[in-house]
Amino acid sequence: MNRGPLEGYTIGVTADRRADEQMKLLAGRGAECLHGPVIKTHPVGSEDELRAATQFVLDNPPDLVIFTTGLGVRGWLEAADAIQLGDDLREVLGQAELLARGPKATGALVTVGFEVAWTAPRARYDDITELLATRDMQGTRVAVQLDGAGAKDLCDQIEGMGADVVRVPVYRWSLPADLTEAERLIRAVVDRRVDALTFTAKPAVENFLEIAGFMGLHDEVIEALESRDVRVFCVGPICATGVTEAGLPDPYVPVRHRLGAMVQQVAQYFATQGEDVQMAGTSVRVQGRLALIDGSQAAWLTDRERALLTALLDRQGAVLSKPELLRRVWRGTESDEHLVEVTVARLRQRLGPASDGIETVVRRGYRVTAV
């Protein structure tokens, strides 16, 4: 039976936008998904700020327009259409020099028929300011499509060059009103019940850590991510700065900063993480919470069983005591050695003919043996 590269693994998804699409892609590769949105995207009301900014752009055509996100491109044009200003806006944009922060904004502009003069090579605001610093910006009118966080530093730096900056708010980000699902995901990270987290926006990383702080679990989350017990994948370099600025190890970032490319990177990574071992003369492939026995019999392990088997396999042939297994598997939350005995017994039941590979060493503990 063909199994996806993510079968046996659980992936935590933090996005709100396109979360269903992301989880469908992950599930198609065999993953279990745990959705805990840590960010909410709100469109700016078309009758207030966005209308005023759009009308100002029409009345005072910019020399240069900077698009920061694909969502912003689509959102601005759709909102302009809704207030009967779409055709006029397209005409003004068609006469301006268009810069894009990255491939998502470029793709959105090209899709609707615009020519993009320049795309930031690293998809970072620093690319834009470095480019503009080579020009005489004094008196240049620049319209900036704001991202959900406001792009304040970018706008301030361009104004510092002497340009007249028009801020165009299209949407904003916030914490979700209901944090229940986000909190469930954070607890799963602390308990190592997810194998990876995906992020599609820098503020999502910041919100994730902020919510963990609300819960009193900030240090525990940091430990899980620093140890790489839970891997972190970000859709692009801007998103990744939310991880590195928190002092965490560099996340995985696909070469193409696209949702599909990130999902593919997750699949490629975990495809290399399965372990093939011999237990009591029986071949066993351990793939996350899935153990394939003799290449055909599937045994699904609980989180504790998986953690216990992983601990034994990490030191194959060595004896691990019950206190050591309590520390490794229960992370100091339990002291009853009977829990280890019960978990070992259940694990043996699941492993069938490979169960004799988990050997009891009297008065010492347990070890995995190949024969």
For the chain, where are the E strands, in sequence order?
A: 10-13, 32-35, 40-43, 64-67, 97-100, 118-119, 141-146, 164-169, 171-174, 196-199, 231-234, 275-279, 282-287, 290-293, 297-300, 358-361, 365-368
The answer to whether residues 65 and 147 belong to one domain is yes
Q: What is the rounded CA–CA span in Å between residue 338 and residue 350? A: 19
Q: Out of 117, 138, 173, pick the residue that ends a domain.
A: 173
Query: Which one-letter DSSP state was computed for residue 235?
Result: S
Establish if 113 belongs to a structural domain.
yes
Looking up tokens 């005489």, which residue turns up? 136
The domain that contains 140 carries what CATH number? 3.40.50.10090
The answer to whether residues 101 and 56 belong to one domain is yes
The answer to whether residues 289 and 332 belong to one domain is yes
Residues in the chain: 371
On whether the CB atoms of residues 291 and 351 are closer than 8 A, the answer is: yes
Mark 202-223 as b/e (b = at least 16 C-beta within 10 Å).
bbbbbbbbebbeebebbebbee
Establish if 5 belongs to a structural domain.
no
The answer to whether residues 147 and 59 belong to one domain is yes
Q: Out of 215, 241, 270, pick the residue that ends a domain.
A: 270
Establish if 83 belongs to a structural domain.
yes
Establish if 4 belongs to a structural domain.
no
How does pLDDT run along the chain (371 residues), one tens digit per residue? 567 999 999 999 999 989 999 999 999 999 999 999 999 988 875 558 889 999 999 999 999 999 999 999 999 999 999 899 999 999 999 999 999 998 889 999 999 999 999 999 988 899 999 999 999 999 999 999 999 888 999 999 999 999 999 999 999 889 999 999 999 999 999 999 999 999 999 999 999 999 999 999 999 999 999 999 999 999 998 899 999 999 999 999 999 889 999 999 999 999 999 989 999 889 999 999 999 998 888 999 999 999 999 999 988 889 999 999 999 898 878 889 999 999 999 999 999 999 999 999 988 999 997 65
The answer to whether residues 144 and 256 belong to one domain is no
The answer to whether residues 122 and 203 belong to one domain is no
The answer to whether residues 59 and 27 belong to one domain is no
The answer to whether residues 251 and 283 belong to one domain is no
Task: Give the total number of structural domains in the chain.
Answer: 3
The answer to whether residues 216 and 103 belong to one domain is no
Q: Which domain holds residue 206?
A: 10-37+176-270
The domain that contains 307 carries what CATH number? 1.10.10.10
The answer to whether residues 259 and 347 belong to one domain is no
3-state secondary structure (DSSP) of residue 251: coil
The answer to whether residues 185 and 156 belong to one domain is no
Q: Residue type at 324?
A: E
Nearest to 350 by CA among 279, 271, 281: 279
Establish if 1 belongs to a structural domain.
no
Indicate the angle between helix axes 338-351 and 322-330, nearest 10 degrees. 80
On whether the CB atoms of residues 36 and 222 are closer than 8 A, the answer is: no
Q: Any idea of the CA torsion for 47, 53, 56, 57, to the nearest 10 degrees?
A: -120
Looking up tokens 């990177």, which residue turns up? 265
- Per-residue pLDDT tens for 8-58? 999 999 999 899 999 999 999 999 999 999 999 888 755 588 899 999 999
